[in-house]
A and B are shown apart, each in its own frame.
Chain A
Amino acid sequence: MVKVEFLGPIGLDSIEMDIKSLKELSIYMKNSNELKDWAINSAVAVNDVIVTDINYELKDGDKISILPPVCGG
């Protein structure tokens, strides 16, 4: 199982998922009415490191963060 947290304005509670890759997370988000728009413009971190490879393989216990567009300052 991995934990997926939706940061900032996404405003959804974290979920636990039984997935092995970011591809599976992509499919899940694209099929969700609440998440499909966020999938387009969000960055993804695994264990607090930004990941840029969709083929990234997940391990049991990984924490995945979905980071929508930012604007500090």
Chain B
Amino acid sequence: MVIKYLFYHQFVGVDLELHSEPLNVDEITSKWYKETNNLNYGAFITFIGTIREENGIEALSFDIYKPILKTWFEAWQKRAKEQGAIVKMAHSIGDVPINKSSYISAVISPKRRVALDLIDEFVEDFKANAPIWKYDVIDGKRVYAKDRSTPMSGAGILVKESN
């Protein structure tokens, strides 16, 4: 008998979860759906990020700084709540092979417009400001995806001229 420890995951805050493996899209999205489908909310929108084959990579790999990810996500929870909506997010830590998912987010709201706008803003701000670092995995080695990375808000403070 083969025993596989498939599902180590860590809840960093309610509605935010980190997994040390590729994301199980069916399981995560259906869990979120079941958690919220009795709230009388009319819209449930997911964004599922899938690793693409590109430049000969085998996988992408991720590092996450959890304390700031948590505060970044909590600010989004607050912003969503002010509009009557809920945000959810799951991300992988470590290697995720091509055609697997490393990132899922969802916005659930009473009416569609709020969810459609929020998922756009949330995913874009995630790309720009969530403290997550991406690496290409080529021949088993991790190479920082420098060209695709974005300086966070507040970057450059150390080289600013000051009074």
Chain A contact residues, CB within 8 Å of chain B: 7-9, 22-23, 25-26, 29-30, 39-45, 48-55, 65, 67-73
User: Which residue of chain B has the shortest Cβ distance to A54 in the bound complex?
Assistant: B162
**Dominant SS among interface residues on chain A:** mixed
Do A48 and B67 form a contact, CB below 8 Å, given A22-B157, A70-B132, A71-B132?
yes
| Set of chain B residues within 8 Å of A26, measured between Cβ atoms | 158-159
Complex Cα distance, B149 from A45, in Å, reads: 18
Interface positions, chain B 125-147, Cβ under 8 Å from A, are 126-135, 144-146
Q: Nearest CB to that of A7 among chain B residues? A: B65
Residues B134 and A43 in contact, CB atoms below 8 Å apart? no
List 8 A-B pairs, Cβ < 8 Å.
A7-B65, A42-B156, A50-B154, A52-B157, A69-B155, A70-B128, A71-B150, A73-B126
B71 at the interface (CB under 8 A from A): yes
Residue of A nearest to B89 (CB): A72
Whether B129 and A70, one on each chain, are in contact in the complex, defined by CB atoms closer than 8 angstroms, is yes
Specify which chain A residues have a CB less than 8 angstroms from the CB of B145 in the assembled complex: 71
For chain B, the count of residues having a C-beta within 8 Å of the partner chain is: 40
* B62-109 contacts to A (CB < 8 Å): 62-65, 67-68, 71, 91, 102-103
| Cβ B158 vs Cβ A70 within 8 A | no
> Contact: B158 with A44, CB < 8 Å?
yes
* Top 5 A-B pairs, shortest CB-CB distance: A8-B133, A72-B132, A69-B149, A9-B144, A43-B152
Residues of A within 8 A of B153 (CB): 43, 50
Give 10 A-B pairs besides A8-B133, A45-B68, A48-B68 with Cβ atoms closer than 8 angstroms: A8-B63, A30-B158, A40-B156, A41-B155, A44-B157, A50-B152, A54-B157, A55-B163, A65-B68, A71-B132
